[in-house]
């Protein structure tokens, strides 16, 4: 393949939420027949036409780093994952719409990635509010993706989507809800496809076209995030 500029996007979330299936769908436009547990990290590449259809259009590679979803306080687990968090340009947070705990744990995953040295040893939840402005100031673009949408009963979808809307607001990120076994959820022209393209364009924009040097690096040079109180209603 020709040499193209590239960006690095982390794909984070609990084990079993469908990260590997999602990455395969995003990169190969095909359903992953026999998904297996990811140990460590796997990387796949997607081709993105930045500002498609405009005079500024340019092709980039999007590296999607599917990080294994094991959590715990073992130092070996944390130190292994910390290696993957260097020089990251964007983050996709993935949760299972049928599993509320996986949604709650996105706070933990974001903290671990943004701080690199946070310990993901338990769900960081309380009954209070936390300062959303800290995510508003975060220069690394985030995207929230809910999987297994097809498994939600019709009479429960409104409740679940209301809950994910709060997550989207908390992370200052757009949300996409889909079924990784059905490519039509990301078909060209759909709102999901538009959101996805907009996210990747934003990642590329901040990496290659921003005038603020502090927003062009990975996590190494960024401020430390410290959430005093998180909530999940």
Contact 9, 90 (CB under 8 A): yes
pTM: 0.84
**What was the pLDDT predicted at 3?**
80
pLDDT at residue 95 is higher than 50: yes
Q: How far is Cα 76 from Cα 35, in angstroms, rounded to an integer?
A: 25
> Which pLDDT band holds residue 18 (cuts at 50, 70, 90)?
very high
In the β-sheet with 6-12, what is the strand arrangement from edge to edge?
Answer: 41-50, 58-67, 6-12, 90-96, 142-147, 174-177
Closest-CA residue to 27 (of 15, 45, 50): 45
Q: Write down the H helix ranges in 125-182.
A: 133-136, 157-171
Over range 5-18, report the average pLDDT: 96
pLDDT at residue 220 is higher than 80: no
Topology of domain 6-209, per CATH?
A: Rossmann fold (3.40.50)
Over range 209-223, report the average pLDDT: 53
Q: What is the largest CA-CA distance in the chain?
A: 52
pLDDT at residue 78 is higher than 90: no
Percent of the chain with pLDDT over 70: 76
pLDDT at residue 116 is higher than 90: no
Contact 110, 162 (CB under 8 A): no
Higher pLDDT pick, 105 / 133: 105
The alpha carbon dihedral of 214, 219, 225, 231 has a sign of positive
The alpha carbon dihedral of 31, 36, 37, 40 has a sign of negative
**Segments making up each domain of the chain, as ranges:** 6-209
**What was the pLDDT predicted at 168?**
93
- Averaged confidence pLDDT in the chain: 82
| Residue 13 CA neighbour count, 13 Å, CB half | 29
């Amino acid at each position: 393949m020709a040499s193209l500029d590239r960006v690095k996007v982390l794909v984070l979330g609990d084990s079993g939420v469908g990260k590997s299936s999602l990455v395969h769908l995003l990169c190969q436009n095909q359903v992953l027949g026999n998904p297996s547990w990811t140990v460590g990290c796997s990387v796949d590449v997607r081709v993105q036409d930045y500002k498609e259809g405009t005079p500024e259009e340019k092709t980039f590679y999007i590296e999607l780093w599917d990080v294994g979803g094991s959590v715990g306080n073992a130092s070996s687990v944390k130190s292994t994952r910390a290696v993957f968090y260097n020089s990251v340009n964007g983050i996709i947070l993935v949760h299972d719409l049928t599993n509320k705990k996986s949604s709650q744990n996105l706070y933990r995953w974001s903290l671990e990635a943004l701080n690199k040295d946070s310990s993901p040893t338990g769900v960081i939840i309380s009954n209070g509010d936390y300062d959303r402005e800290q995510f508003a100031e975060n220069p690394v673009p985030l995207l929230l993706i809910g999987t297994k949408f097809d498994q939600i009963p019709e009479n429960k979808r409104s409740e679940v989507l209301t809950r994910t809307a709060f997550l989207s607001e908390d992370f200052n990120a757009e949300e996409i809800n889909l079924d990784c076994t059905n490519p039509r959820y990301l078909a060209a022209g759909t709102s999901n496809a538009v959101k996805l393209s907009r996210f990747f364009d934003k990642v590329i924009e901040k990496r290659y076209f921003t005038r603020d040097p502090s927003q062009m690096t990975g996590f190494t040079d960024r401020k430390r995030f410290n959430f005093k109180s998180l909530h999940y209603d």
